[in-house]
Amino acid sequence: MAAAAPPLKDELDIVIPTIRNLDFLEMWRPFFEPYHLIIVQDGDPTKTIGVPNGFDYELYNRNDINRILGPKASCISFKDSACRCFGYMVSKKKYIYTIDDDCFVANDPSGKQINALEQHIKNLLCPSTPHFFNTLYDPFREGSDFVRGYPFSLREGVPTAVSHGLWLNIPDYDAPTQLVKPRERNSTYVDAVLTIPKGTLFPMCGMNLGFDRELIGPAMYFGLMGDGQPIGRYDDMWAGWCIKVICDHLGLGVKTGLPYIWHSKASNPFVNLRKEYKGIFWQEEIIPFFQNATLSKDSTTVQKCYVELAKQVKEKLGKIDPYFVKLADAMETWIEAWDDLNPPTAK
C-alpha cells in the first residue's frame, strides 16, 4: 500500500529565519522534506547560507526584501529573528509553520521522535473552545471529549487560527530569570493541548508556532526589533498580544501545548538583558493596554482590526515612548505591504 501523503503538503510553508547554515534540517528531514521552505536570511546579505540537498526552498536576504517591498521594507526588522514575518507575507499557502534553527526534534516520554509539524496541523484543523473551558482540555483530541456540564450550544467551537507549541530542554525565559536560574532545564512533558480562553493574553513564542495564514496572517507582524531599535526579543510577544485581541474580536481560537521541540541552546542572558531592558518595564503598561483594547464593529477583517489597533497603539502607547509612534506607523506600513503582495480577493 502506498504511504499516505503528508498532511497539507501543498497548503503549508515552513518559514525559518537564520544567519547560519541550516544543518539542523537534516534531523527534521523525515518530517520537513515534503514541504516547501521559505528561508529568511538575516544580517549580511553577501553571506551564503548552506541548505542540505533535497529540500524545496526559496531564500530571501535583505537585498531581496528591499527589492520586493521598496520603501515599505522599513517595516521588516534587521539583525533580529523578527525578519521571519517577511516569509509570512510572501507565502502563498494557507498555513505557516515557523521554527528556529536551534530547535531540534524532541522525543516523547516513550522515546519516540515527535513530529511537531503533524501535531500543529492536528491542532489547526480542529476547532478551539475559547468561550468555555473544558477540564479535559482539547475535546477534539483522540480519547477526549466535552465533560458533563459543558453547554451543547458551545460544543461546535470556533475555527483555530494559531497553534503555539512548547520546548523541552532550554526554557524560553527572559534575561532576569535566565540569570538567576542558569542551569534550569525543562524536562516536564505535559501531554495536553489547551484553548486559551477569550479575554486572556499569553506570551507567544515564535520558535515553534503554526498558524492559519488566511485567518490571521496579516496580524502576525513581529514588529520593529533589532538594528536601530531600542528593544529586542519582544517581536513574537508583540505579535501574540495583537493576534489574541483580534482573534477574540473575530471569534477565532488560539491553542497552546503540544507539540514540543528540543530547544538546544540558551542565548546569552547579558545580551538578552540589553535587548529586553526597556521591554521589561514597558510591558507593565503594554499589557493593560491590550487587556482593555476593544475593536469596533466596523473592523470585520484582520486588516481593519490591525489598522484600528495600530491607531490605538499610537494614541495610547505613544505617550510611553516615541518608539511606539514609529511602531504604530510600521504596523500600518506592514498592512499596506501585505495587501500589495496579497491583493484582497473579492468575496
Report pLDDT for 4.
80
pLDDT over 80 at 346, yes or no: no
Cα–Cα dist 325/311, whole Å: 9
Cα–Cα dist 120/103, whole Å: 15
3 state SS of 332? helix
Mean pLDDT of the region 129-146: 97
Contact 239, 219 (CB under 8 A): yes
Report pLDDT for 2.
60
Angle between helical axes of 25-32 and 116-125 (0-180°, round to 10): 40
Which residue shows C-alpha cell 520593529? 224
Cα–Cα dist 215/196, whole Å: 17
pLDDT over 90 at 1, yes or no: no
Could you give the percent of the chain with pLDDT greater than 90? Answer: 97
Q: What is the pLDDT of residues 46-74, one digit of tens each?
A: 999 999 999 999 999 999 999 999 999 99
- pTM for the full model? 0.97
246 phi and psi, to 5 degrees? -75, -40
Contact 249, 219 (CB under 8 A): no
Calculate the average pLDDT of the chain.
97
Report pLDDT for 344.
80
Could you give the percent of the chain with pLDDT greater than 70? Answer: 99
Report pLDDT for 3.
67
Secondary structure (DSSP) of 179-203: HH-TT--B------EEEPPTT----
Residue 75 is placed in which grid cell?
A: 517595516
Mean pLDDT of the region 91-112: 98
Mean pLDDT of the region 120-149: 97
More confidently predicted of 346 and 93: 93
Model confidence at 5, pLDDT cuts 50, 70, 90, reads confident
Residue 290 is placed in which grid cell?
A: 491590550
Cα–Cα dist 222/15, whole Å: 13
